[in-house]
Chains A and B, each alone.
Chain A
């Protein structure tokens, strides 16, 4: 449908390096991205170790005499409306929210990318069908889709992952397709094609790398959205069932207490915010490190 004819950058490396070395060399330079990676690693570590390091049980320990009390030495993040320790819940919640956020985006990105690559590369009827299906999916209200999935599979956190993944598929597909259409007609791709490379090789070796940058940028943004979407599904009674300390669900539960005890909402909101921020900074760093053109600017 669209074809862009812009010249191709012809950069020649100064000396031979492996791609991994090259990537690491560039990535290391990004201080913010490095900091974000450290944060994410720590978060994942905390999530893994959570059951051993939480001071209180996240679901069953309660203190009805300390309802809604703000942060203190005994409860670092305060106590929620059901007398539970918010710090413990945030730590345990990291396991659920991270898994849900990452898995769903990964699933959506992989499926969406495959569809997008094929649609963009082959065009024709395959493209039309893919785009038509993605139109249908786009138009389908998320809540409706979630209820349908729950109808088929029953309520659980797994459904959240599936539902959120399905929401992401069409966006990834569309994004990758658009980039593929652009890359397909570039000289280097046409050159590889003319020396008889197979479709698979062209797509895998020469087009996919070009689509990585928008995918990574969108995926990192999507992780935050996924965590929040998971939250609203929990709120509708689908997905993470209470008292599971899923961050989004915690935030939603804090709604009624938002005015009288803002700390109950503050900490899950902060957890989501910092996590999303870290993933975004990481995404930016990855993008710069993966982009072959950036180097020349410096």
Chain B
């Protein structure tokens, strides 16, 4: 690929016109030990229990910690808990806590703190945006300062995943007391960094916490998060050295940046699946042959190449690789001849007309639906496109009151199962209880085997048994094909060559524990 270079005459002109500017000293000085992150999303509140912003949650991992957390490969690891036990009926979880951990305000982390946090999250009256993640907690009891017992209202086997999620952070009870509702502006946790300043429009700054329980960490003095919504600008900032880390980066530019060689371009797997849901309540998608035909008609290999410049993995099952209990069923082969044959069998020899909506209005999504439209046209399916702006999406997809009247036909969407476990990759999207307006089953898919087993898996605590149940569920869904199974796109990000120990995790969050600057 070529670099972007201006013609000679142009350059001379530009040089001349800003002569005055060139007198100013070039380069931007950076404070030693300060690592600047250019991130895509702005922070809305710093209270992890009251936001769905992944930006807020990933910055949160710098100053907050939960009982459990995920490592770089999305495997659960104990953080503030040392271990836990589950009662045989799956209702009571007993946690043994790490000792000698202090909050940034100097108070001790102990069982009381856990109780305060879980009581807050599970109390309906607090009206927190993450309520449904904690609504199964019946009560939390302090056994002794390092032991805490949580009782659930019903068995919920992914509970540890739910509390390993970046929203289930331990906030200092003293700070909750002191700041009340303003805790969203004054985070106080146990993480490696402590909060310094948050200027909404500009940056969020945190500094090294000297009392951090992992001795010798962290190894840099301060972190600065700058929300930069434009992807090209984010990229430019890392190129000029104004930022040390940039995420996400346009797929289109990854190769060119790699060839340039000034910064590290990292291409890491993610669990964000790209799929198209087909409304099975409506003709012609009520016919499984049509749904199969569409899966055969789309060249998914080309999809990754055209839209993601190759930075994607084919979807080889309903639940993507990296999420616990994922089962491999595919990938679905590309076979347009077979697609035409199936359409003919289903009574659509000349294809049909339908609509394909994109749930997002970013440029990658716009490219995706256009690609899909081209592919569908190859087998005679004429799809009219519409790119939905967030409010329209909510109005026309999420809030559709009557399933039978819902206007959605084909919907291009993405999903990242933030708990890293199969339940949250299946239940909100494919269980019949999740039809809009409840959750996001935009295919209006309903299968009794799937429903029963998704519910059953929640009560089962043994791994092998659970894996077997989820296998049945995933095989059934793959066979019924309520979705066009597309791919999981990679996380492409930029890192200054001097920076190490910081990663984008498969759930799009950032991991800072080992961060180091040479």
Contacts and interface: CB of A to CB of B under 8 A. Distances in A.
B514 interface: no
A67 B253 CA distance: 14
Contact of B4 (A60, A252, A262): A262
B371 A253 contact: no
Interface in B349-384: 358, 361, 363-364, 366-367, 369-371, 373-374, 377, 384
A263 to B, nearest CB: 11
A255 B363 contact: yes
A238 B388 CA distance: 8
A252 B387 CA distance: 14
A62 B374 contact: yes
A172 to B, nearest CB: 28
B140 to A, nearest CB: 44
A94 B1 CA distance: 31
Given A243-B373, A256-B231, A147 B252 contact: no
Given A150-B392, A243-B373, A256-B231, A237 B361 contact: yes
Contacts of B241: none
The majority secondary structure among interface residues of chain A is loop
B302 A241 contact: no
B305 interface: yes
Interface residues of B, number: 34
Contacts of A83: 306, 374
Contact of B374 (A82, A258, A259): A82
A19 B389 CA distance: 51
Contacts, number: 74
A236 B390 CA distance: 10
Contact of B363 (A60, A64, A256): A256
A291 interface: no
Contact of B385 (A243, A252, A258, A260): A243
B9 interface: no
Given A64-B306, A236-B389, A260 B370 contact: no
A242 interface: yes
Contacts of A81: 252, 306, 367
A260 B252 contact: yes
A237 B363 CA distance: 10
Nearest to B303: A64
Interface in A67-123: 67, 81-83
B516 interface: no
Given A82-B374, A241-B387, A260 B253 contact: yes
A155 interface: yes
B302 A259 contact: no
Given A241-B385, A253-B363, A260 B306 contact: no
Interface string B279-314: 000000000000000000000001001100000000
B386 interface: yes
B196 to A, nearest CB: 34
A193 B367 CA distance: 62
A236 B133 CA distance: 32
Nearest to A252: B363
Given A82-B306, A155-B392, 17 more contacts: A62-B374, A64-B306, A82-B370, A82-B371, A236-B361, A237-B361, A237-B387, A237-B388, A237-B392, A241-B385, A241-B387, A253-B363, A253-B366, A255-B232, A256-B251, A256-B252, A259-B232
14 contacts: A60-B374, A82-B371, A83-B306, A147-B389, A150-B389, A237-B386, A237-B387, A242-B370, A255-B232, A256-B231, A257-B252, A260-B1, A260-B2, A260-B255
Q: Which 3 A-B pairs have the closest CB atoms?
A: A237-B361, A237-B387, A237-B389
